[in-house]
């Protein structure tokens, strides 16, 4: 293979360094450089809960159930925090694209202040009504005691969690996905050490039992936020948190953050409820089907990682292109991100289709679980490229400041799939596989609606001429991200 052909292949995959290359080659590199840290970041966020679950499992089933119950409440809060993260990320990216450093910095500061103010009443509510919130799950008294103790620490941590999401959104909006990744890497290491020490009384820590995992999570998150904030205070140029001015929220900024962020939070909440209803629907098929369904859902969550990384890249690059009034680059960023996401998720789909039963066998020895789960994974495999398009085109629409349309389309199509699965199971006695096949019916339409609306938007359709070079929209961070 000639060096020229090798260079073309590397450029196509976005891992080459194009020198005076085509606009597509330059954009591919930018997409990949933003996406791969975001993928790892997603895995690291999940890893915190995996490590905590593993550690408390050494104590017993009640400990695992208690922590799991509290984490369900944390997930509800994370949905609320999505509004701030998405809203400030999009607005910062547009300001960065417009080379308006003052506005970008002001949005960043106001988002952090607003998030902190929002966290205070939520913390008070979470502490005062801790028993009632845990009681909603109807768990046994021993489990409820553990869950309530864990939840109280999480409620105290809300200010840290809010700022973690806000600062990470700011960094992604300015084109830096590496620093949030490093921050979550720090959070994982600190969480593992502190949680292990506090749970079992090791490494010089006092032994406090299960709640030690909550304090470990808090300690890791504090250091992660400190790292990200330090980068923006001491090393930020385009977006900086230095200085005392510009911190108090103004109504125009709050309105803009809410206009973009609240629909995204509503979409996340709707998605969580829809999947909960799906799980309840599957429960009538029996314990084996429910176990197979849960494993399949975990497989779906894992397969999302490449597409979520591409979606974050698309949001940042489309947002910056919109701010720079460069619709050609915005279209290019959306198209390339969607193509990469579809390729990666299709490859994962092939693995699920070929090795579905073997993957299930890794998690369960029950032949019935393996059988039903294997069928579900093979059905899920065919919907992978459609999930990719849905995630990336939704992220692209948020980049132009329109998060309401993807909220409506994604919520409607997801609920249609859930309702269709409900009818087929409850009304016609179909098996577990039909639940996942319902997505094959509705997901192609999701892509059609999202892509058509995205490409017809005035911010994307103006300026049809494609430049030979990509404008300097999303430069490498103006500092070396903290390692």
Give the pLDDT confidence of 273-289 residue by residue, as tens digits: 887 787 777 777 777 77
> Given pLDDT bands bounded at 50, 70 and 90, which one contains residue 5?
low
* pLDDT for residue 12 is more than 70: no
- Render the burial of 223-258: b for 16+ CB within 10 Å, e for the rest: bbbebbbebbeebbebbbbeeeebeebeeebeebbe
Measured distance CA(197)–CA(55) in Å, rounded: 10
* pLDDT for residue 108 is more than 70: yes
Tell me, what DSSP letter sits at residue 137?
Answer: T
Query: Are residues 439 and 421 in contact, defined by beta-carbon separation less than 8 angstroms?
Result: no
Instruction: Please give the pLDDT value at position 189.
Output: 94
Residues in the chain: 483
Residue 292: name the closest of 198, 431, 142, 185 by CA: 431
Instruction: Please give the pLDDT value at position 380.
Output: 84
Candidate ranges 26-40, 189-203, 364-378; pick with highest mean pLDDT? 189-203
Instruction: Please give the pLDDT value at position 477.
Output: 45
| Residues 281, 286, 289, 294, Cα dihedral to 10° | 70
> Given pLDDT bands bounded at 50, 70 and 90, which one contains residue 15?
low
Query: Mean pLDDT throughout 349-364?
Result: 84
48 vs 466: which has the higher pLDDT: 48
Residue 430: name the closest of 275, 278, 282, 274 by CA: 282
Mean pLDDT of the residues in the chain = 82
DSSP string, 358-423: HHHHHH---HHHHHHHHHHHHHHHHHHHHHHHHHHHHHHHHHTT--HHHHHHHHHHHHHHHHHHHI
Measured distance CA(373)–CA(357) in Å, rounded: 7
* CB-based burial label for 156 (10 Å; 0-12, 13-18, 19+): middle
Task: Write the pLDDT tens digit of every residue in 278-334.
Answer: 777 777 777 777 777 777 777 777 788 888 888 988 988 898 888 888 888 889 999
Task: Write the pLDDT tens digit of every residue in 372-423.
Answer: 888 888 888 888 899 899 999 999 999 888 889 999 999 999 899 888 888 8
Tell me, what DSSP letter sits at residue 210?
Answer: G
Q: How far is CA 381 from CA 17, 183, 202, 370, in A?
A: 33, 33, 44, 16
Neighbours of 280 (CB within 10 A): 12
Instruction: Please give the pLDDT value at position 4.
Output: 53
* CB-based burial label for 107 (10 Å; 0-12, 13-18, 19+): buried
Query: Mean pLDDT throughout 448-462?
Result: 86
Instruction: Please give the pLDDT value at position 183.
Output: 92
Query: Are residues 273 and 100 in contact, defined by beta-carbon separation less than 8 angstroms?
Result: no
> Given pLDDT bands bounded at 50, 70 and 90, which one contains residue 462?
low
**Domain assignments of the chain as residue spans, ordered by start:** 24-249, 263-464
Query: Mean pLDDT throughout 226-239?
Result: 84
Measured distance CA(239)–CA(105) in Å, rounded: 5
Instruction: Please give the pLDDT value at position 365.
Output: 77
Task: Write the pLDDT tens digit of every residue in 239-261.
Answer: 888 888 888 988 888 888 888 88
Instruction: Please give the pLDDT value at position 460.
Output: 80
């Amino acid at each position: 293979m000639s060096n020229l052909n090798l260079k073309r292949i590397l450029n196509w995959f976005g891992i080459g360094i194009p020198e005076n290359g085509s606009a597509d080659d330059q954009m591919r590199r930018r997409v990949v450089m933003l996406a791969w840290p975001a993928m790892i970041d997603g895995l690291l966020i999940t890893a915190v809960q995996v490590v905590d679950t593993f550690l408390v499992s050494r104590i017993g089933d009640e400990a695992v159930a208690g922590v799991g119950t509290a984490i369900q409440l944390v997930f509800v809060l994370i949905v609320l925090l999505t509004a701030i993260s998405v809203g400030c990320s999009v607005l910062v990216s547009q300001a960065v694209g417009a080379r308006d450093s003052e506005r970008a910095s002001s949005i960043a500061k106001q988002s952090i202040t607003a998030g902190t103010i929002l966290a205070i009443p939520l913390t008070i509510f979470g502490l005062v009504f801790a028993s009632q919130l845990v009681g909603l799950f109807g768990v046994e008294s021993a489990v409820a005691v553990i869950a309530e103790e864990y939840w109280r620490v999480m409620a105290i941590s809300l200010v840290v969690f809010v700022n973690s999401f806000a600062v990470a959104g700011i960094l992604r909006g300015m084109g830096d996905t590496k620093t949030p990744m490093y921050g979550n890497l720090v959070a994982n290491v600190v969480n593992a050490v502190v949680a292990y020490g506090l749970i079992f009384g090791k490494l010089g820590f006092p032994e406090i039992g299960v709640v030690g995992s909550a304090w470990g999570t808090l300690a890791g998150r504090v250091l992660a936020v400190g790292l990200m904030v330090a980068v923006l205070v001491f090393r930020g140029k385009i977006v900086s948190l230095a200085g005392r001015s510009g911190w108090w929220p103004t109504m125009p900024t709050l309105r803009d953050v809410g206009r973009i962020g609240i629909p995204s939070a509503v979409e996340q909440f709707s998605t969580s409820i829809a999947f909960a209803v799906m799980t309840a629907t599957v429960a009538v098929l029996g314990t084996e089907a429910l176990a197979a369904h849960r494993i399949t859902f975990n497989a779906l969550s894992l397969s999302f990682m490449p597409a979520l990384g591409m979606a974050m890249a698309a949001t940042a690059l489309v947002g910056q292109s919109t701010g720079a009034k460069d619709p050609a680059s915005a279209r290019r960023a959306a198209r390339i991100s969607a193509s990469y996401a579809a390729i990666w998720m299709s490859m994962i789909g092939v693995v699920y289709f070929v090795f579905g039963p073997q993957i299930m066998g890794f998690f369960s020895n029950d032949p019935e679980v393996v059988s039903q789960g294997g069928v579900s994974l093979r059905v899920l495999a065919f919907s992978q490229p459609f999930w990719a398009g849905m995630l990336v085109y939704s992220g692209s629409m948020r980049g132009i400041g329109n998060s309401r349309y993807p909220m409506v389309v994604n919520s409607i199509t997801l609920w249609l799939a859930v309702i269709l699965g409900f009818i087929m199971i409850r009304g016609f006695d179909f098996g577990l596989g039909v639940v996942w096949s319902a997505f094959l019916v509705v997901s192609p339409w999701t892509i059609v609606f999202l892509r058509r609306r995205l490409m017809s938007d005035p911010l994307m359709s103006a300026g049809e001429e494609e430049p030979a070079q990509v404008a300097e929209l999303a430069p490498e961070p103006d500092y070396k991200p903290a390692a």
